[in-house]
Amino acid sequence: MQFARRVFYVAGVYGFIVLLPEYFMEERIGRDFPPPISHPEHFYGFIGVALAWQVAFLIIARDPVHYRPIIIPGIIEKLSFGIAAPVLYGAGRLAGTVLAFGLIDLVWAAVFAVAFMKVRPVAPSYPSIKGRE
C-alpha cells in the first residue's frame, strides 16, 4: 500500500507542476506549435480536466485501498494521451517534445497498473443480524 501512496502522490504533484504553467502559455504554444489555438475553450477545458485528475491522484494517495476502483479510470486517463501521442507523432501531426510527455503518460499508466495490483481490496464487512449470529 505504501507503494501506491507514493506513486499517486508523486503523480499528482508532477501533474500540477507540468500542467499549471500551461494556463499562461496559450499564446506561446500557438507560436511554437502553429497554428495558433483557435478553440481556447478546448485548450483550457483540457487543462482543467487534467488538473482535476491530479486532485484525484492526490486523493487516491491518501487511501489507496478505499479508492482502489478509481485507479482504473486513472489508468485510462494516462493511456488516452499515452496511446494518442505516438500515433499522432507517427502521422507527422505531433512534435517530438509533446511525444515525450505522451510516453511519460504510458509509463504512469504502467506504474498505476502495478499499484492497482499491489493494493488488495478489503472484503466488505456486513453488520450481523441479531439472532442470526
Q: Are 96 and 32 in contact (CB under 8 A)?
A: no
Q: How many residues does the chain have?
A: 133
Average confidence score pLDDT of the chain = 93
Instruction: Give the pLDDT score at 12.
Output: 98
Choice among 22-31, 77-86, 99-108 with the minimum mean pLDDT: 22-31
Instruction: Give the pLDDT score at 132.
Output: 59
The span from the CA of 50 to the CA of 17, in Å, is 12
Question: How many separate domains does the chain show?
Answer: 1
Whether 125 is covered by a domain: the verdict is no
Q: Is 40 left (phi over 0), alpha (psi -120 to 50) or beta?
A: alpha
Whether 132 is covered by a domain: the verdict is no
Instruction: Give the pLDDT score at 104.
Output: 98
The model's pLDDT over 5-28, given as tens digits with 9 standing for 90+, comes to 999 999 999 999 999 999 999 999
Which structural domain, as residue segments, surrounds residue 80? 2-32+39-118
Under the banding of pLDDT at 50, 70 and 90, the label for residue 47 is very high
